[in-house]
């Protein structure tokens, strides 16, 4: 039973303010995501172009992890966050210049840069929390962070689909920009009282020492791999293809994408309230396996829109806690001075997993594999992960 409630955790001044900033900026990101996906479908983009577009969201965390980790460990959090929000504002404005499939290269570049800022900001926050929080409060903060993401995912996808359908892409992007501006103003009042950590190493030495630290701690490497397996739930490309293949005959593509993702996100939001206290070191493998089975069952009904909406809701119920708990297991094992670098490497591997799944979905669909069987393979990944975790728990005597 929890000794610290979510409300009590949110009363922490830093957690409360950052959660509000997260809520606004995450909502804006998903609000415009529907517009991007729908725009590509309208312009006649192929399955692989859609997959590549979603890859641009994940590539920065992979290619630039050592550099972002160094930046996070070296630069003041508030200053870094301000710059990153300004970058997100600029790139979102540039989305409005894309008006045909011929400009998809520019769109990918803008999305890559915005995602670079977003992923660095996320890693910085996840490295900050273990410095100011511990135990139950840290675990709660991870879950709150994930629930905020889910609420924004639901509301952003649903409202983004409606606004995109009725008011067009440019207005959707403009609203997104306004939200980032509001988040920037809220950031002004953030007060952090952290003792600076002195780093006498050069940038190259810091990046190297972070890599060596990770290499010498095998348990951390296994925890990073475990967390990356949550990437088997990356359904963005799959849902876009389902809308293009099946749902467009029932509902407009923006609305279909928005509402099905909103249904999943409602599950992501409710899930921790129901399952958080049950998922721990001794039960994690059991819930990973259940998640895999649920995805496999969804595969058989996903071609029917109404069944798919219901099915994806159930898929979301466990995911928030699985994500936050595996992240918590990693955070508590990292030395403070290496937090930024190790968290950045973790996010890099997580994004590698997501890109791998995205590429697999797009490529397999282009080769003619039915989406049903693609989904079943993704579900099987969770079952394999459950077996891997059982081995890991016995090897390292995990008892959290």
* pLDDT in 10s for each residue of the chain, 400 residues: 446 778 888 888 888 888 888 888 778 777 777 788 778 878 887 777 877 777 777 777 677 666 777 677 777 788 888 888 899 899 989 988 888 888 888 888 898 888 888 878 877 887 788 888 877 788 888 888 878 877 776 677 677 777 877 877 888 888 888 888 988 888 887 887 666 555 556 667 777 777 888 888 889 999 999 999 998 988 878 988 888 888 888 787 777 877 887 788 788 888 888 888 888 888 999 999 999 999 999 999 998 999 999 999 999 899 988 988 998 898 888 887 777 778 878 878 887 888 788 889 988 998 889 999 999 999 999 999 999 999 999 887 765 5
CB 354 within 8 A of CB 61: no
CB 326 within 8 A of CB 223: yes
Location of structure tokens 């996070």:
72
CB 285 within 8 A of CB 389: yes
Could you give the angle at the alpha carbon of 106 between the alpha carbons of 103 and 110, nearest 5°? 140
pLDDT computed for residue 1 by the predictor: 44
pLDDT computed for residue 53 by the predictor: 77
Q: What is the DSSP string of 19-30?
A: HHHHHHHHHHHH
The HSE-up count of residue 46 (CA atoms within 13 Å, CB side) is: 10
Rounded-to-integer distance, Cα 65 and Cα 356, Å: 17
Measured CA to CA in angstroms, residue 145 lies from 28, 117, 125, 159 at distances of 16, 18, 10, 21
**Tokens (6 digits) for 113:** 């840069």
Rounded-to-integer distance, Cα 226 and Cα 115, Å: 23
Count CB-CB contacts under 10 A for residue 20. Answer: 16
Rounded-to-integer distance, Cα 333 and Cα 315, Å: 29
Q: Which CATH class is domain 6-396?
A: mainly alpha
CB 112 within 8 A of CB 60: yes
CB 281 within 8 A of CB 302: no
Rg (CA), the chain: 20
- Where do runs of H (alpha helix) occur along 43-168? 47-63, 65-74, 77-95, 104-132, 135-167
The residues, ordered by sequence, that sit 6+ positions from 38 with a Cβ below 8 Å of its Cβ are: 161, 164, 165, 169, 253, 254, 257
Q: List the one residue out of 273, 277, 234 whose CA is nearest residue 381.
A: 234
Count CB-CB contacts under 10 A for residue 79. Answer: 9
- What count of residues does the chain have? 400
SS3 (DSSP) at 332: coil
Question: pTM for this one?
Answer: 0.75
CB 70 within 8 A of CB 200: no
**Tokens (6 digits) for 200:** 């006498």
CB 229 within 8 A of CB 381: yes
């Amino acid at each position: 039973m929890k000794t610290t409630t979510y409300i009590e955790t949110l009363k922490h001044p830093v957690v409360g303010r950052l959660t509000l900033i997260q809520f606004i900026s995450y909502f804006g990101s998903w609000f415009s995501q529907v517009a991007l996906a729908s725009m590509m479908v309208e312009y006649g983009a192929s399955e692989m172009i859609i997959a590549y577009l979603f890859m641009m969201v994940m590539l920065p965390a992979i290619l630039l992890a050592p550099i972002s980790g160094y930046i996070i460990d070296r630069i003041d959090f508030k200053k870094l966050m301000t710059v990153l929000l300004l970058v997100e504002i600029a790139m979102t404005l540039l989305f409005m210049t894309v008006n045909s499939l011929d400009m998809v290269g520019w769109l990918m570049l803008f999305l890559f840069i915005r995602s670079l800022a977003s992923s660095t900001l996320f890693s910085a926050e996840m490295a900050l929390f273990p410095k100011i929080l511990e135990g139950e409060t840290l675990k709660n903060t991870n879950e709150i962070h994930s629930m905020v993401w889910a609420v924004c995912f639901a509301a952003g996808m649903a409202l983004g689909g409606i606004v995109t359908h009725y008011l067009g892409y440019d207005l959707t992007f403009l609203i997104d920009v306004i939200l980032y501006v509001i988040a920037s103003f809220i950031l002004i009042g953030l007060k952090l009282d952290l003792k600076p950590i002195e780093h006498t190493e050069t940038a190259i030495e810091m990046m190297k020492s972070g890599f060596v630290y990770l290499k010498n701690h095998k348990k951390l490497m296994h925890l990073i791999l475990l967390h990356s397996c949550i990437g088997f739930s990356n359904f963005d490309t799959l849902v876009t293809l389902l809308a293009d293949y099946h749902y467009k005959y029932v509902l407009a593509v923006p609305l279909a994408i928005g509402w099905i993702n909103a249904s999943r996100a409602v599950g992501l939001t409710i899930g921790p309230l129901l399952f958080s206290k049950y998922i721990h070191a001794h039960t994690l493998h059991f819930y990973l396996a259940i998640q895999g089975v649920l995805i496999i069952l969804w595969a058989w009904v996903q071609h029917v829109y109404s069944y798919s909406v219901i099915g994806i809701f159930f898929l979301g119920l466990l995911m928030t806690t699985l994500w936050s708990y595996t992240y918590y297991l990693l955070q508590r094992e990292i030395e403070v001075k290496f937090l930024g670098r190790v968290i950045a490497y973790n996010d890099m591997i997580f994004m590698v997993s997501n890109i791998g799944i995205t590429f697999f979905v797009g490529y397999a669909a282009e080769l003619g594999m039915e989406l049903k069987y693609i989904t079943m393979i993704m579900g099987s990944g969770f079952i394999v992960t459950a077996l891997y975790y059982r081995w890991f728990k016995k090897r390292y005597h995990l008892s959290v």
